[in-house]
Structure 1
Amino acid sequence: MKNKVLYISDLDGTLLMSNRELSNYSKETLNKLMDKGVNFSVATARSLATAVKIIEDLNIKVPVVLMNGVVIYDIAERKYVKLETIPTEAVKEIIDITKKHNITGFMYAICNNEQITYYEDLCTKYLKNFHDERVLKYGKPFEKVSSFHDKACDNNIIYFSFMDLHEKLYLMFEELKKNPEIEVVLYKDVYNENVWFLEIHSKYASKYNSVKFLREQLGYDKVIGFGDNLNDLPLLRACDEFYAVANAVDELKEKANGVIDDNNSDGVAKYIFKREWNW
């Protein structure tokens, strides 16, 4: 009996080209494969609003992993299958530490099956660019608040995202990672080498745990993953096989089973096609 296999790919820097879009070749090839019965999904740092817009032309039937594993979303059913909130006391501490370091960003919540993104001030060009692109390109809803503390007790906070220069985020990163209730990730933006992202979520939320959940719930015998950046290391650990695109960071390439064509050469779609088309 043929093994039930899931292919799961990161988006930015992996499945998407450098213009942040899917190529026509990848769309057509992946849809052809899925129509033939291949199981395919994505695991991304992006939220629902932006990820679904990008992959709307793909006929994905498997739930997708969003926000580095904070939520799992069923596109067909239009509902969250699983989500991990940050404990209220941890939320308050995160906000206090960001105030101490004079850094602000975005705070995400899920209310009535809808995502809300809060912000205090678009005080840097990085925050403004992030906000404006998502509003104009994806129609993502944002809500301005005077302070994140105003929403800290809502028991539905799932994620924080900050973006700035490495030296501005690093000290805050070192302080935040002492909290055992949260996972803190600091990594370089794949589109702007001067910008770094600092992202915070529940310690139980990860691409690793999300892939484990999909494997157990949907009965996959094997999971094969694809990625490019340090935030894909948990995905790598969850997979039976993992392939880094040629443009991936060296640390990921060293740990991967192999290296495939880069993100601008349809590496993921070509690999799956080559492996599956003539079964």
Structure 2
Amino acid sequence: MANKTLWISDLDGTLLNKEKKVSDYTKKILNEKIAEGLCFSIATARTPATVVDMLKGVEISVPVVVMNGAAVYNMATSTYEHVNYLEIDMVKVIENLLKEKKQNAFTYCIDNNQLIAYHGAFTNEAQKKFYEERQNNPRKLFKAEETPLDARVAYFVVIGEEEAVRSIYEVLKGYDKVNQVFYEDIYNAGVYYLEIYSEEVSKANAIKFLKKTFGFDKLVCFGDNYNDIEMFEMADEGCAVANAVEKIKELSTQVIGHHNEDGVAKFIESKWQK
């Protein structure tokens, strides 16, 4: 296929195996094809704090879509090339709702290319675990303090039991200025996440930014879950891994191999042409 094609993959449940790693085989295939001219990128809910380490050894040359499309991050220069922030009035609405519900959230801000997560006292073990697994990463600073009034908020993350998290989700559904992603953690049954973004935020919109910036005229995407829906709807080819939810399989142009069997890499190896 022509070099003006962007090949973009989700991470968890798609490019990553069950150990949350990019296998040596997948790294080998991707690097071979990237060296030949493949334009490959990632679209993930994760932040650069974990994405950079997970993709270590993969020579990605195109900026990656992170935080479900809230930002586009250049791994080569360690800079955020594009960020969609929440409007200030909406930030206040969300903060007041969280106080009313007595829920802690991680409030993600970007200051001079540094990702900062402000938070209050943890209200459940899942929040504590989330913090402990990420606290020593220099690409993400945690601060146990109120979000500064002049901070620009990229998004909020609420973590907890389904009922508590859903109650916030249901209230915010009444607002036009937010886009929410509500889901169960695929690695921890019973733990639910709510990510709250600007209404402009989606993987699809961030990919549109990449297409416009770099002049891509075709999109091939890989995914497995509900936050990939808009990406699949805009793609010329949507490849659902074998373990994908049924909705993604319905939207796909083809179902490929399982995420734990290098499905993405094997498909690229078979289809990519210089």
| TM-score of the two chains, using structure 1 as the length reference | 0.93
2:270 to 255, 270, 274: 274
Q: 1:2 to 1:224 in 2, by over 3 A?
A: closer
Partner of 1:5: 5
Cα pair 2:239 2:253 within 8 Å, conserved: yes
Partner of 1:186: 182
Partner of 2:100: 100
1:257 aligns with 2:253: yes
> How far off its partner does 1:139 sit?
6.8
Task: Please give the per-residue CA displacement for 1:78-117, whole angstroms capped at 9, x wherever unaligned.
Answer: 2111101111110010011112222212110011121111
Partner of 2:66: 66
> How far off its partner does 1:193 sit?
2.5
1:195 aligns with 2:191: yes
> How far off its partner does 1:204 sit?
1.0
Cα pair 2:233 2:251 within 8 Å, conserved: no
Amino acid of the residue matched to residue 46 of structure 2? R
Cα pair 2:48 2:139 within 8 Å, conserved: no
Amino acid of the residue matched to residue 210 of structure 1? A
Amino acid of the residue matched to residue 217 of structure 2? D
> How far off its partner does 1:53 sit?
1.3
Partner of 1:135: 135
117-126 or 85-94: which moved more? 117-126
Cα pair 1:50 1:138 within 8 Å, conserved: no
Q: CA separation in 2, counterparts of 1:139 and 1:76?
A: 14
Amino acid of the residue matched to residue 272 of structure 1? I
Task: Please give the per-residue CA displacement for 1:205-249, whole angstroms capped at 9, x wherever unaligned.
Answer: 211111111111111121100111111112112311111111111
Amino acid of the residue matched to residue 244 of structure 1? A
Q: CA separation in 2, counterparts of 1:139 and 1:181?
A: 28
Partner of 1:112: 112
Q: 1:3 to 1:52 in 2, by over 3 A?
A: closer
2:154 to 153, 158, 164: 158
> How far off its partner does 1:137 sit?
7.0
Moved over 6 A (4+): none
1:221 aligns with 2:221: no
Partner of 2:91: 91
Partner of 1:206: 202
Task: Please give the per-residue CA displacement for 1:248-276, whole angstroms capped at 9, x wherever unaligned.
Answer: 11111111112111111111111111101
Q: CA separation in 2, counterparts of 1:138 and 1:267?
A: 32
> How far off its partner does 1:123 sit?
2.7
Cα pair 2:120 2:144 within 8 Å, conserved: yes
Cα pair 1:3 1:221 within 8 Å, conserved: no
248-257 or 82-91: which moved more? 248-257
Q: CA separation in 1, counterparts of 2:258 and 2:137?
A: 25
Q: 1:138 to 1:130 in 2, by over 3 A?
A: farther
Number of aligned positions between the proteins: 274
Q: Percent identity?
A: 39
Task: Please give the per-residue CA displacement for 1:44-94, whole angstroms capped at 9, x wherever unaligned.
Answer: 001111111111211000010000000001111221111011111100100
1:48 aligns with 2:44: no
Task: Please give the per-residue CA displacement for 1:13-40, whole angstroms capped at 9, x wherever unaligned.
Answer: 1111121111111111111110111010
> How far off its partner does 1:138 sit?
7.5
40-49 or 159-168: which moved more? 159-168
Partner of 1:246: 242
Partner of 2:24: 24
Q: Unaligned regions of 5+ residues in structure 2, if any?
A: none
Q: Unaligned regions of 5+ residues in structure 1, if any?
A: none
